[in-house]
Amino acid sequence: MKDRFYEELAQVYEIIRRNQKEISSYYDILSNNKKDKRIEFINTFLQKIDLNIDKENQMAAVSRLVSLRDDSLFQSLKKAGFSEDEIIEKKEDAYLWVAEFHLKVHKKLIDEIEEKELLTPFYRAIFRGVHEVGLSFSSWQSSWTAHIINGVNRELYQLFNGDEEKIFEMLNTKDLHDKGHNGGKGDRSYSVLVKQEDGSFKSIPYCEAFENEVKESTKALKNFKVSLSKLEDEVFDQKEVHLDYLQAIIDALNEKNTHLLIPKWAEVDRKWMKITAPLQIGHPLEYYEDHYKKAVALEWDLRIVNPKNEAADVKEDIKSMYKELFSQIQIQALESEKIYENSSKNIDRVQLYLGRPALYYGAEFCGLFSAQVVPNDEVVTKEEGKKIFAFADNVLDSTRAKPFMKIQKEIFDEEFLNRSREVIFKKPDIWHDVYNITTIGHEYGHILWLDNDTETIMNKSGNFKNIEEFKATVGGLIAFFLNEKEELKYHILSDVVKRAVGLISWKETSEVEPYYAEGLMHLVGLFEVGVLKFSKNLEIDMSDSAYEKIKAWYLQTYKELALHYLHKKDASLFLHKYAKKDGKQLMPLDDNVKYFVNYYWNLHKSMGQIIDKESKDIWLEN
């Protein structure tokens, strides 16, 4: 029976791949002048939000629809001269537009699975149940964003004249964070701030702040649970763990005591870790969007494993690197051995899932991840381990579908671009090897050097996430450096360069600030050792000697960062060696790097949405 299930799972996987290809085909309308329903759909949206119908704005709209990110659209709205309030309103219009489009795609997928009777009744019910709950989360997302991101957080920023350290100081002094497992300050929140009549703030749980939305989500979750209770999981025998999981979410969503929210959601994570089937539900886990209180976002999705994937796991390289680095540091820091053992055990317990997002809702209509390691709760991780999700197939398909952009040719020379494109279009095996090192390695890198309370202690001034992404990526790189494959060295360095430069484009996208911060730190190293130089053009040294120099820089920097984590020092102390806030955005301290960042950012604003006229056809030929 299991063999038949996996055969049908492969059919579902193919339907999802086909659907993504259809969505990505919207990029095609930008490089031809044919009139069809797709271009009319894009133009109607642009008219709705009062943007001129031109190639750049069409590109921004298509990017919002296909990639789900809103940074390009945000720049188009700024360029058009709209006020901050008008931009917020139009970004909400875009969210609703994108949600409606993708919800129809999801419904079509579910109908096709039902019509063809693929999988078992139990797993077809999971598709239906996830969708119904997803509808409620997607509806809730608008009020979540309005209250937290565009409401109280804007007010706090204005109240404290943009001094974010004072905002964190106020939150700590007034004890407005959710309580963690030990009764101390938690590292995330399932509650929101509301302003009282006397001007002070208090914290209330989601079920009070969003009473109607939580009622709707609870109703959908209860119906989902009832539908599963009437069926049997004849393939994986995971009926009871799914029922326990859904009940735990219901209980956590409706918890009114803010001091019990983190323990209640930790119970959700515990139940979820028991689910090991190739269809995995994703619940609220991450908290990038809310910089101050770290309110957990309204994630909700269903992830599907690729039944034919035989990708290599980088776990052993990560473990070997971690052991060697720890022995080299020889730290006498308090409890360092315990931290090392804790992280090592967590690596061993990782469940790795390689596949695609099948269904996605809520906050994920504002951007999907290329990979993820969760849960973030380190107490749960110590008990149960973590899950790593990697969506390589999705990422490669998306990368191939995007048009070539003029800014790429403006920044990178032809040889550099062509070698990169050759890997993307002609050498998928190399592309996947690089992805395993830089992306799956990144997710394993998150696990290292952490204790149960590391994030809480290091985040006192709010910058933990702004060094954690860098730590994760460099962890994956160091694992490669200590176990190199000669044929991948150029491609790894090339990927680092492209990532570092490309992340500058997220300068004003606050919810992904940690990745922008990561890019700045990479750039500091790349410029310091001479891999990158910039006067009128960006010069890239990809020689063996340049590779060895940046390798040495990463090794030294990573050791310093590991010590920082073992001593649980405030994250700002490390970040501020590389970058500090200049107004609302982080900027590098090094003058050469700052000059290049400003140059690229201005270039991105002026031509970031202009498509290169060079055809992709030569790369698409077999």
Question: Torsion angle, CA of 468/472/474/479, rounded to 10 degrees?
Answer: 150
Q: Give the DSSP letter string of 436-463.
A: IIIIIHHHHHHHTT--TTHHHHHTTTS-
User: Structural domain boundaries of the chain?
Assistant: 2-305, 315-350+409-620
CB atoms within 10 A of CB 619: 15
pLDDT for 35 equals: 78
> Which CA distances in Å does 62 have to 99, 498, 616?
14, 22, 18
Predicted confidence at residue 427, as pLDDT, reads 96
Helices 37-48 and 84-116: angle between axes, nearest 10 degrees: 150
Q: How many helices (H) and strands (E) does the chain have?
A: 28, 11
Backbone angles phi, psi at 67, to 5 degrees: -85, -20
pLDDT score of 334: 58
Give the per-residue pLDDT at 614.
Answer: 77
Q: Helix, strand, coil shares of the chain as percentages rounded to 5?
A: 65, 10, 25
pLDDT digits (tens, 9 = 90+) for 415-424: 999 999 999 9
Residue 331, pLDDT score: 64
Q: What is the pLDDT of residue 57?
A: 96
pLDDT of amino acid 333? 60
**Rg of the chain taking only CA atoms, in angstroms:** 24
Q: Give the pLDDT confidence score for residue 336 in this predicted structure.
A: 85
* Per-residue confidence (pLDDT) for residue 515, from 0 to 100: 97
Tokens of 135: 């509808």
Locate 46 and state its tokens. Answer: 């642009």
pLDDT at site 615: 74
pTM, rounded to two decimals: 0.95
Residues in the chain where the model's pLDDT stays below 70? 33, 310-312, 330-334, 621-622
Give 363: exposed, middle or buried? Use CB within 10 Å, 0-12, 13-18, 19+: buried
* Residues 163, 164, 167, 169, CA torsion sign: negative
DSSP label at residue 160: T
Distance from the Cα of residue 604 to its chain's centroid: 22
Alpha carbon distances (Å) from 249 to 3, 274, 367, 376, 531: 32, 14, 23, 16, 49
pLDDT at residue 622, rounded to an integer:
59
Euclidean distance between CA atoms 216 and 210, whole angstroms: 10
Please tell me the predicted confidence (pLDDT) of residue 1. 84
